[in-house]
Amino acid sequence: MDAVSNPKSGWSSPVIASTLIAIASTLIASAALGLAIYNAHLDRQYKELSIKPHLELDVQSDDFHAAVMNNGVGPAEIKRIATKFGDTCSFLNEPPHDKFDKLVFETIHNIGDWFNDPLDQLVQPSIWEPTIRKVDVQVLTPKEILAPRQKIVLFKLRQQQSEAARQKLESLDADSFNKIVERFLDRARAMPYYAEYCSLTGDYCVGAETIQKACPH
């Protein structure tokens, strides 16, 4: 009687070895790809940190000015501005649009009026009159870019009025002096003027939540 041989499974040692090698190669390639993606992510994060802007309010009572300064390491691109002088919110979105120039004019006027208190105690109230206003006001506008360390002065007295204010301030007693200065600083910090800005890549943005909180819509 002939011997019956067992059928071969097809999984000989060489086949198993080559399969394991293929699987290992795939895993190694996948791990390398994952590491490359992760490194790219870390590199992008590092680059983003190296170009991140940071806008801060800069207020000085020696010459009575309030400004916005970019204290970050990268440029800041202004996306939109919101204000809430009184009970009404206004939004300066990207120009052009029909009401943009009007809103800029109204914002400039409102910022000037905001500092009437307390500075009318130091200078003549007539400097706030619309046609002969003797204060300098500037606003941020969408698409404007602030370089690192660049400062935009939102409000300041003109030189003659600033000198008159300092002279009047020096003539006051310490308590009155401190009250006026502290009031100016408080008004500057509480100014209802909000900016949303981003890094130039657009991956880092700040200000949207603050605007939404102040002016929900």
pLDDT tens digits along 98-152: 678 888 889 999 999 999 888 988 887 777 776 678 889 999 999 999 999 999 9
- Distance between CA 5 and CA 31 in Å, rounded? 44
Show the domain range for 60: 53-214
Give residues with Cβ within 8 angstroms of 164, minimum separation 6. Answer: 122, 123
Which helix (DSSP H) or strand (DSSP E) does residue 194 occupy? strand 193-198
pLDDT of 30 > 60? The answer is yes
- Nearest Cα neighbor of 112 from 94, 98, 125 is 125
Task: Examine the domain organization and report whether 78 and 180 are in the same domain.
Answer: yes
pLDDT of 167 above 80:
yes
pLDDT for position 126: 76
Verify that 187 and 98 share a domain, yes or no: yes
pLDDT of 209 strictly over 90:
yes
Q: pTM for this one? A: 0.74
The answer to the question of residue 4 being in a domain is no
* Same domain assignment for residues 189 and 159: yes
- Domain check: are 142 and 120 in the same one? yes
Domain-located, residue 6: no
CB atoms within 10 A of CB 204: 18
Distance CA 91, CA 84 (A): 9
Mean pLDDT across the chain: 84
Question: What is the rounded distance in angstroms from the CA atom of residue 152 to the CA atom of residue 145?
Answer: 11
DSSP 12: -
Structure confidence at residue 196 (pLDDT): 96
Give the residue among 37, 8, 54, 29 at the shortest CA–CA distance from 150.
54
Are residue 139 and residue 75 in the same domain, yes or no?
Answer: yes
Per-residue pLDDT band at 39 (split at 50, 70, 90) = low
